[in-house]
Every structure is written in structure tokens, then in C-alpha cells.
Copies of this chain bind each other. A is one copy, B any other.
């Protein structure tokens, strides 16, 4: 069976967006999509995704602000939200839901079949899923910048195991399995 993987870039000090909600601090940094924990192989392994509403809204107001920009994900996705959505990007295969997290992940898992489920963020959703025991792995591309504040990568306590580490361009690449050290 596939894994549920929280895959994200973050700053050295654990933020996924700066205090203004921007990802501009990633601009100009080198990251090879075919390198360690790169997007190409990850995307190929992903069969569905789960996304928080803030992340969806950020996509629409940022990278997809121009309505002619194509939706970037081929997989079906579930967006957790309690509020109505004004615009669904063309080509997006999205389910907007306020169902319990376990049900949402189960639906995404079923859609992914043997492939992985991508937890696309943000940190609040990833934390809720981690607390519910619904995150198998965390893949971090650590940007060479301290932000000093912003949106935390995972505002929850969780034991992890480092299973892969190295470098991709300007970034450190760290892969963790969620759970205690083997005794």
C-alpha cells in the first residue's frame, strides 16, 4: 500500500511561508527536480493529494492568479474547507469537503490505490493529520535561509526517524518516517 507523505519546502528554522505568507524566499535558489527528494520522482509516485483551504487559496491568489495558468496537478485532490469556493481552476480534479480527516484520507487513499497520498500542506492540516496518526513520512527540502517567523511547518509534537539525508542544489534534503526510534 502507498504511503501518506507530507512533502514540502521549508526554511532552516521551520517555516513554510514567511510572515507575509510569501514564498519569495525560495526565488533564485537552485533545486533539481530530478535530484534527491526532487519533484519529478515524487510526483510520479503520487496518486492523490489532500490540501488545506489556506494552501488552496494561496495557490489561486499566487501561482494561479492568472486564470489561464493551467492547474498543475494531474491527480485527484481533496481540499479541506468549511467555506464555499468561488473559483475552481479548469482541469483541477478537486473534492471540497468538511468530512472528518480520517474519511478524507481514506477516500484519497482509495483513489491513490497502490500509489502515495501527498499531504500538500499547510502545516495546520499536516499537524492535524500527524496527531491522528495519518502521516507516514515527511519529506523536507530545507532552504538555506532563516525567516525568523512565519507559518510553521508542523505545529505539533511528533517523534520522527531520519531515513534519508543529503543535498539537492542549495537545499538540504531530509526524509523522515513518523514514529518513535526503534528500541
Mark out the residues of chain A between 137 and 182 whose CB falls within 8 Å of any chain B CB in the assembled complex. 138, 140, 142, 144-149, 152-162, 165-167, 170-172, 174, 176, 181
Knowing A12-B14, A154-B13, say if A159 contacts B145 (CB, 8 Å).
yes
A127, B148: Cβ atoms closer than 8 Å = yes
Question: What's the number of copies of this chain in the assembled complex?
Answer: 2
Q: Which of B140, B146, B162 contacts A170 (CB 8 A)?
A: B162
Q: Which of B13, B15, B147, B162 contacts A171 (CB 8 A)?
A: B162
Whole-angstrom CA separation of A11 from B153 in the bound complex? 12
Knowing A146-B158, A153-B13, A162-B167, say if A174 contacts B172 (CB, 8 Å).
yes
Task: Report if A1 contacts B (CB, 8 A).
Answer: no
Whole-angstrom CA separation of A25 from B149 in the bound complex? 22
Mark out the residues of chain A between 63 and 77 whose CB falls within 8 Å of any chain B CB in the assembled complex. none
A165, B166: Cβ atoms closer than 8 Å = yes
Of chain B, the residue at the smallest CB distance from A158 is B146
**B residues in contact with A166, CB < 8 Å:** 165-166
A160, B29: Cβ atoms closer than 8 Å = no
Chain A: residues with CB nearer than 8 A to chain B?
Answer: 11-15, 28-29, 127, 130, 138, 140, 142, 144-149, 152-162, 165-167, 170-172, 174, 176, 181
The 7 lowest CB-CB distance pairs between A and B, nearest first, are A14-B14, A13-B14, A144-B160, A146-B158, A148-B156, A148-B157, A146-B154
Excluding A145-B157, A172-B172, 13 further A-B contacts by CB distance (< 8 Å) are A12-B176, A13-B152, A13-B155, A142-B174, A144-B159, A144-B162, A145-B160, A146-B156, A146-B158, A148-B152, A149-B155, A165-B166, A166-B166
